[in-house]
Amino acid sequence: MTMTEHNVLLVDDQRDILRLLHATLDTLNIEKLKVYESLSGEEALLSSTRHKIDLLVTDYMLPGMSGVELMHKVRARHPEANVIFITGMTDRKMREEMLNAGAQAIFDKPIPMTDFLDVVERSLGLDRTIFPTQKKDGMSEGRHARLSDLLANFRQDIKADAVFLLNDHGFVQARTGKLLDASMEVSLISTLMAIHATSLKVARHNHQETIDSFHIFSGGDHDLLFIPVTPLYALLVAGQGLASDQRVLETVSALLALRAQVEKSLKSMGVTGELRPLSLDEKPVSPSAPEPAPVQMAEPPVDISLAPEMEALLTNASLDKTNANDADDFWDQAAEKLGNQPSNSDVISLDDARRLGIIPDGN
């Protein structure tokens, strides 16, 4: 079986960006991937006459012709070529111009490489390794089709642009429609599932039996509505004006009805909607509770050698001494037998000083 060859044309007037994009594409480890580089639109056009182009990745602002002009000229030769734009400009009208011209995705600088690679894989029809599709076994295929039908009917009823069922691993379990700009789909879904995980923890701390949280993001390319279905799944709805003052209650009401249907389908697939209790590593530590003191191993006993005279006294001492006077007598006797030794080892008696010759005899 012959492997399909994929040709990618990178166009930017900065060599560093070309090198970065080329090195990033190399990480895909695709044997039949060929990457061509051009520093201008004119040079890119010449390259497009020599090679079949499957994917054009171009800066919007080029010296000479713009990236949109280049796209039209390349597509005149290669109608099936997909296009990814890179831009340092955030003007909304420019983004709309690029999307309306048929761009597959638009990335602002600095380029999010994970999202970039995901769009490249989708544009070239490659097996998705960055954001893989959830695999389904044969027995659950029909049930997943039922989920897709539910999402499609809901999307049609409320005139949404896209509806996604996401699982806690960030996979798209079912989907219908598409986002206006799919450039940041990986990052968007990853962020939303982080919100889902946080909502789950809040529900546990609040001792809720189910998770009832609503997240609404109004404006931008879409109004986004995001709600949990079970601890393992959540729904994302994207569309124009869904969260407006006039429609938000209607949208949420319809979304709750969809959630009930999806939850029923998931339960038929063996997915529970129960919240599990916090695991030990998730339980919050009370700020007022002191941390337990570290356990210290007992040190080995110190061997204290006694002077022979003291050891003899202690050995021969009567064990039935029970009052303070007897104890005082004991230590008085010990002092007499040991001699009048000074208690301070740094001090010597006058007799010892004379014997050592430190002071003369008779003084």
Please tell me the predicted confidence (pLDDT) of residue 313.
45
Q: For residue 30, what are its two tokens?
A: 């695709």
Secondary structure (3-state) at 238:
strand
Please tell me the predicted confidence (pLDDT) of residue 162.
94
Q: Which CATH class is domain 141-268?
A: alpha beta
pTM of the model: 0.64
Q: List the pLDDT tens digit at each of the 363 positions of the chain.
A: 456 789 999 999 999 999 999 999 999 888 789 999 999 999 999 999 999 999 999 999 998 899 999 999 999 999 999 999 998 877 788 888 888 888 989 998 888 888 999 999 989 988 777 666 555 544 456 667 788 899 999 999 999 999 999 988 888 888 899 888 878 888 898 899 999 999 889 988 998 887 788 899 998 889 999 999 988 899 999 999 999 999 999 999 999 999 999 998 888 877 655 555 444 444 443 334 334 444 344 444 444 444 454 445 444 544 444 444 555 555 555 555 555 554 454 555 666 666 666 566 655
Please tell me the predicted confidence (pLDDT) of residue 304.
43
Name the strand (E) or helix (H) holding 83: strand 82-87
Domain definitions of the chain by residue range: 6-123, 141-268, 323-363
* CATH code reported for the domain at 6-123: 3.40.50.2300
**DSSP assignment of 106-170:** EEESSP-HHHHHHHHHHHTTPPPSSSPPPP--GGGHHHHHHHHHHHHHHHHHHT-SEEEEEETTS
Calculate the alpha carbon distances from 14 to 11, 38, 110, 246 in Å. Answer: 9, 10, 13, 48
The tally of CA atoms less than 13 A away on the side-chain side of residue 151 is: 26
Spatial distance between the Cα atoms of 328 and 324, rounded to a whole number of angstroms? 6
User: Are the CB atoms for 105 and 117 separated by under 8 Å?
Assistant: no
Spatial distance between the Cα atoms of 74 and 44, rounded to a whole number of angstroms? 8
DSSP helix, strand, coil percent of the chain (3-state; round to 5): 40, 15, 45
Spatial distance between the Cα atoms of 27 and 297, rounded to a whole number of angstroms? 52
Is the peptide bond preceding residue 110 cis, with omega within 30 degrees of 0? yes
Please tell me the predicted confidence (pLDDT) of residue 252.
93
Taking only Cα atoms into account, the Rg of the chain, rounded to an integer number of angstroms, comes to: 40
Please tell me the predicted confidence (pLDDT) of residue 138.
47
- The residues near 130 (Cβ < 8 Å, ≥ 6 apart) are 114, 117, 118, 121, 186
- The residues near 303 (Cβ < 8 Å, ≥ 6 apart) are none
Spatial distance between the Cα atoms of 58 and 39, rounded to a whole number of angstroms? 10
- Tell me the residue type at 143: R
Please tell me the predicted confidence (pLDDT) of residue 51.
94
